[in-house]
Amino acid sequence: MKIKGALTAIALTLLWIAFDAPAQAAGTITGKEVPIAVGPGDQSDPAISGPIISYTDVSSGTADVYFYDERTKTTHPGATGPGDQEFSSVSGNLIAYTEYAGLAPAEVWTYDITTGVATNISNRPDSDQLKPAISSQLIAWEDKRQGLPHIFVYILSSGVTQQISGGGPQSDPAASGGRVVYTDESTGSQVKVWDLATGTTTVFGALTGQPDIDGENVAYVDMSGANWDVVVHNLTSGAETRLTLPGTGGGYPKISGEFVAFEDWSSGASHIVLWHWTGGELHYFSPLTSIQTLAAISGNRIVYTDNRNGNLDIYAYDFTFTYPPPPPPPPPLVGCANPIGALADYWVVRRVRGLPAIGTAYFSSTVAQNVKVCITGTDVTAGWVVLSLHVDATPANFGPGTVYFERPDFVHKGLNASAAALVGRIGASIHVRIVPAP
């Protein structure tokens, strides 16, 4: 019966937690928009890595790469000069970009923010190399030396260039660490991930594209349904988290940690939205009076292009995600088994020189209330327990070994007294605990 009672108590506790405990609330996203490059001409196509934002500026009549340093809150020219420099990507202090020198094909270059040195990486003047994506380990780009665009990579540590895709056209490379993700249109449209460490390529999705990668998580667009869904795919587990939007859906997702920024087209125009993909929260922050495109994200900063001023400018949105406080723990179970909240808790032990052992406890109660008197007797030949002149135990309740029982009783507001006496061998004891009634 004691086991059955204990199991019943556990079951009731679990039911209380399941049905009466408050549910975990959604997190809260707040933030502030900051202008980054707002001025004459067009500034567009931002990329971000930590405090550095690179972008394309055409205010001089040709395209140049500039960068903004959040640490000093200053703007600097990066890759400038004759021809066009555009499609930048940044990692640390290194900016990768496409260089168009006159009528020559486009090539992939890097600009080192620390040294100010520009370097031709692809070094292939007979064909176009476009849209570079840079990480801490490599640079990937679309390469047309074989006619159709394929994905090539340049390993920063070794200076080795290699082709990682073949067949039909591949596009939209993005890089993180030693991984490159891209769209392969050889058979329809699929997202593929190449891993520098293993040399292997992972394929997933059907009618998918516009991928981005951060660590082991890939964000992409699923175009197989009536609306375009934004999906996050985990490379280790294969688990996918999907966001379905009304209308035409969304596109061009960019991922950083637990957040994805993407273009939401459900209103008929492009607006940047932030998705906390691990929790499900959506945050609409970009103004509906203008159009935003070409988002990038790093940590808790999103950068994007906006046309509110009649031309293209770069803005950033710095956001904070606040987890809700955890729900309060359930109140402790009140009862004889729980010492918390006991009104009185004392021992009466040992028979001395043949006399009964007697103990008395005085305690206060802030209110008049029902209580339980919890009594444990060990090797008691005869014993008595009294609370406020109510007898809760008599010799008939005790015996050899350990005996446990509970009695309902009542205490008054203010001072109360309880007493116990026992007869038994040396070491015999009575333990009395008085607790509020459940």
Are 387 and 372 in contact, with CB atoms under 8 Å apart?
A: no
pLDDT band at 20 (very low <50, low <70, confident <90, very high): very low
Domain ranges of the chain: 31-322, 340-436
Mean pLDDT of 162-182: 95
Superfamily of domain 31-322 in the CATH hierarchy:
TolB, C-terminal domain (2.120.10.30)
Return the number of other C-beta atoms located less than 10 Å from residue 14's C-beta: 10
Q: Which listed CATH number (3.90.1150.10, 3.40.220.10, 2.60.120.260, 3.30.390.30) goes with 340-436?
A: 2.60.120.260
Tell me the CA distances in angstroms from 94 to 113, 140, 297, 317, 396, one per residue in order.
6, 14, 17, 23, 88
User: What's the pLDDT at 13?
Assistant: 31
Question: What pLDDT is stored for residue 193 in this prediction?
Answer: 98
CA distances from 211 to 48, 204, 281, 301, 312 (A): 17, 11, 21, 19, 24
Return the exposure string of 205-244: e unless at least 16 CB atoms fall within 10 Å of the residue's CB, then b.
Answer: beebbbbbbbeebbbbbbbeeeebbbbbbebeeeeebebe
- Which candidate, 28, 325, 222, places its Cα nearest to that of 231? 222
Could you tell me if 261 and 271 are in contact, meaning their C-beta atoms sit under 8 angstroms apart? Answer: no
The DSSP line for 357-424 is EEEEEEEEESS-EEEEEEEEEEEEEEEEEEETTEEEE-GGG--SSEEEEEEEEEE-SEEEEEEEEEEE
The mean pLDDT of 414-430, rounded to a whole number, is 89
- For the cut 80, the answer to whether the pLDDT of residue 147 exceeds it is yes
Give the Cα separation of 357 and 404 in Å (integer): 19
CB-side neighbour CA atoms (13 Å) of 391: 8
Same CATH topology for 31-322 and 340-436: the answer is no
pLDDT confidence band for 21 (50 / 70 / 90): very low
- What amino acid occupies position 109? W
Cα–Cα dist 353/355, whole Å: 6
pLDDT tens digits for 211-236?
A: 999 999 999 999 988 889 999 999 99
Over the stretch 274-332, which tens digit does the pLDDT of each residue have? 999 999 999 999 999 999 998 999 999 999 999 999 999 999 999 999 988 888 887 66
Q: Is 44 exposed, middle or buried (0-12, 13-18, 19+ CB in 10 A)?
A: buried
Flag whether pLDDT at 358 surpasses 80.
yes
Quote the pLDDT of residue 350: 66
pLDDT at 356 over 80: no
Q: Is 10 helix (H, G, I), strand (E, B) or coil?
A: helix
